[in-house]
Amino acid sequence: MTARAPFGVLAALLTCYLAAPLVAFAVRLATSRERGFGVPGLWGALYISFVCATISLFLVCLFGIPLAYLLARRPGRVARVVGVAVQLPLALPPLMSGLLLIYLVGPYSFLGAHLGGRLTDSMAGVVLAQSFVAAPFLVVAARAAFVQVDRSLLEVAATLGHGELSRFVRVALPAAAPGVRAGMVLCWLRAFGEYGATVILAYHPFTLPIYDFNQFSAAGLPTTQAPVALALGSALVVLAASRLPLARLWRHRDTRLAAIGEPAHPSAAPRGVVTAVHAVPPPPLRFAVAAHQGGFALEVAHDATSGRLAVLGPSGSGKSTLLRALAGLLGPGAAEVTLGRDTLGDRAPETREVGYVAQSFDLFPGRAVAGQLTFGVGADAQAAARLVHELGLTELWARLPNELSGGQRQRVALAQALARTPALLLLDEPFTGLDAPVRLEARRALRRLQHEHGLASVVVTHDPEDAAYLADEVIVLAEGRALQAGPIATVYRHPASLAVARLLGIPNFARAVVVEPGVLAIGTGRLFADTAGLARGSTVAWSVRPEHIELVARGPNRLAARVLDRTELGVLAEVTLLLETGTELVARPSASPDVRAGEAVGLEIAPAAISCWPAEPDINDAGAAVL
């Protein structure tokens, strides 16, 4: 017996228990001569139940779906109190629910007296009773569905120009559709089968459950077969209708409409053809961000001379928060933003004209690629057609998000943001999870678009190479603060601290002693470096990039090292070296050296390539960084 067998047995037992009465009823209905289909009032009761349940569903959807959305989007004390109030009818016996409604709309209540008692013993009373007991089923299911909607979908929609109502109708509702539809089915079925609250509030006209109970009380089981059969048949029809493939219908409509603007422009650059780079300078970007989320505080200000900026930092440093503040998604008071002469900080996200690609953004559900590119308010069809060619999306025009690879989805998201010709492009880890060839291709395409269109951009990344490729300036961020900011070349060549050097991906860190100005002692070897500001005799930390270490013959004033390993990287080789102090260094010499493990070599490092700082306690005696 397998480990899963108990689950199968338990499931089978419950299934049999639930199905057995249905089977017994079907046998009785097939063999009985008196079923009750000819008894007066049957079809009228079915009509009352069906119509009232449908009206109740409509009313509950009209008010309950927005309520569920608000409860999911704005959690807090008020939401918790409202959530409990919505679920209380589930805990009450239906008869008690009917009594509660009598206090509100009964003939002696203010509402009942004012309306002349028309809210009881009427179809209005049936609808009120059914809605009260059935509404929690829809609200609870829809709230759970809305909670699962990716926040980035709504945020990206806001940056694409969609207001709150548009985001609800066009993004949140389609994304939560399976859960909302399940809640609608439960709501209708519960309303259709409601008896207790209805019999208290609206005994007349008869609903099907009340009619069935009266037949059982008067004539026993024989004449109850017809109403039970009709109830089961109605439920099966509704369940079958709820399973209609609406996603396919939506896909067909979306693709057909978008195909009107399907790209067929001979002048557009085909995939793989790189057009001339005109190097149009983007407007400079300036901002001051002060945002608090829970216990985390982000305070960063930057006055850039360029419009192409990268933000480097570890996870949890505030990179994504910074990007969301620039997009206006944290509210107007979170950031002061100026792009050239335009002030963006006081605008709502839907009016900032920014293109925002969130981290792990998975596109809008139910929309083919064509619909994704034209989803933004005011999206330019010609620009979308051109981007389809430039980003290699021509063959993907009619595909849905779940039919695309990760790299294809990333390119679609980028094209979607660019189709509105944004003033500022915000990218949050745009190449995460992409295969190396796809990553390189997407990075080259983005760089080309940046330069051809003079596109201002902020790229958040943990990869220094991506930052160098796509930006002119960089901010190194940690724990909500900027450790260093400036031109790429300056920051990469001269990190302001050991922490910055680590975040820039430099693998080589070690200790040394300043023996005289411009000279470091490492064991018995000497190394020339810029030691300005460092006292003679002080212990310092120093770092050098692998590509700045050359292997030469051993000699005076050269560091002696022993080769630990040599790895071929194609054109270059990576050599792991061991200094006499026990420090390991990684070198990538310009010329692939013919060395083997165990061989003694000398190291030649240009003084300008070495960065020095006062020693920190997290560099151990062997020179390795202790993280």
pLDDT at residue 275 in the model? 40
The CA-atom distances, in angstroms, between 156 and each of 274, 329, 500 are: 29, 9, 31
For 128-169, the pLDDT digits (tens) are: 999 999 999 999 999 999 999 999 999 999 999 999 999 999
Query: Per residue in 362-392, pLDDT tens?
Result: 789 888 888 899 899 988 888 888 888 877 7
Q: Measured between alpha carbons, how far is 119 from 112 in angstroms, rounded to an integer?
A: 6
Amino acid letter, 389: H
Distance of CA 257 to the CA centre of its chain: 27
pLDDT above 80: residue 256: no
According to the model, what pLDDT value does residue 457 have? 92
**For range 441-464, the mean pLDDT:** 86
How much is the pLDDT for 274?
Answer: 36
- Please state whether 422 falls in left (phi above 0), alpha (psi between -120 and 50) or beta: beta
> Quick one: pLDDT at residue 408?
83
pLDDT at residue 252 greater than cutoff 80: no
Average confidence (pLDDT) over 429-445: 79
Q: Give the per-residue pLDDT at 99.
A: 93
Per-residue pLDDT at 61: 97
DSSP string over 348-398:
-GGGS-EEEE-TT----TT--HHHHHT-STT--HHHHHHHHHHTT-GGGTT
Q: What is the pTM of this model?
A: 0.80
pLDDT of residue 538: 92
Sheet with 285-293: list strands edge to edge.
296-303, 285-293, 335-339, 342-343
Q: What is the pLDDT of residue 265?
A: 43
Mean local confidence (pLDDT), 110-139: 91
Q: Give the three-class secondary structure for 338.
A: strand
pLDDT score of 617: 59
Average pLDDT over residues 40-66: 96
Q: Residue 479: its pLDDT value, please?
A: 92
Mean pLDDT for the stretch of residues 432-458: 81
pLDDT value at 305 more than 90: no
Average of pLDDT values for 587-595? 84
Q: Is the pLDDT of residue 299 over 50?
A: yes
8 A C-beta contact, residue 476 and residue 462 = no
DSSP-assigned beta bridge partners for residue 336: 288
Q: What's residue 556's pLDDT?
A: 67
Range 506-614: architecture per CATH: Beta Barrel (2.40)
pLDDT at residue 255 is higher than 90:
no
Task: Characterise 121 by phi-psi region: left (phi > 0), alpha (psi -120 to 50), beta (else).
Answer: left
Other CB atoms within a 10 A radius of the CB of residue 624 amount to 17
Considering only the top CATH level, what class is 285-492?
alpha beta
Average pLDDT over residues 493-510: 89
- Is the confidence at residue 48, as pLDDT, over 50? yes
Q: What percentage of the chain has pLDDT greater than the value 90?
A: 49
Domain boundaries, the chain: 21-244, 285-492, 506-614
Of 16-20, 584-588, 615-619, the one with minimum mean pLDDT is 615-619
Per-residue confidence band for 300, with pLDDT thresholds at 50, 70 and 90 = very high
- The more confidently predicted of residues 620 and 171 is 171
User: What average pLDDT does the segment 18-29 reach?
Assistant: 92
Q: What is the mean pLDDT of the chain?
A: 86
* Fold exhibited by the domain 21-244: MetI-like fold (1.10.3720)
Q: What size, in residues, is the chain?
A: 627
For residues 509 and 258, the model is more confident at 509
Residue 485: which pLDDT band, with cuts at 50, 70 and 90?
Answer: very high
- The whole-number pLDDT of residue 618 equals 53
pLDDT at position 85, please? 93
The dihedral sign for the CA sequence 487, 492, 496, 501:
positive
Q: Alpha-carbon distance 173 to 252, whole Å? A: 19
pLDDT tens for 160-203 read: 999 999 999 999 999 999 999 999 999 999 999 999 999 999 98
- Tell me what pLDDT residue 259 has: 43
Tell me: the pLDDT tens digits for 541-579? 999 999 999 998 877 667 889 999 998 887 788 999 999
What's the pLDDT score for residue 288?
Answer: 94
- Candidate from 100-104, 141-145, 266-270, 464-468 with smallest mean pLDDT: 266-270
Q: Tell me if residue 442 falls in helix, strand or coil.
A: helix
Of the listed ranges 54-63, 80-89, 404-413, 417-426, the least confidently predicted one is 404-413
pLDDT range class, residue 624, cuts 50, 70, 90: very low
Q: Round to whole Å and give the CA distance between 350 and 328.
A: 9
Top pLDDT among 392 and 62 is at 62
Burial class (CB in 10 A: 0-12, 13-18, 19+), 200: buried
Confidence of residue 3 (pLDDT cuts 50, 70, 90): low
Query: What's the pLDDT score for residue 557?
Result: 63
CB atoms < 10 A from the CB of 556, how many? 7
Residue 50 has pLDDT above 60, yes or no: yes
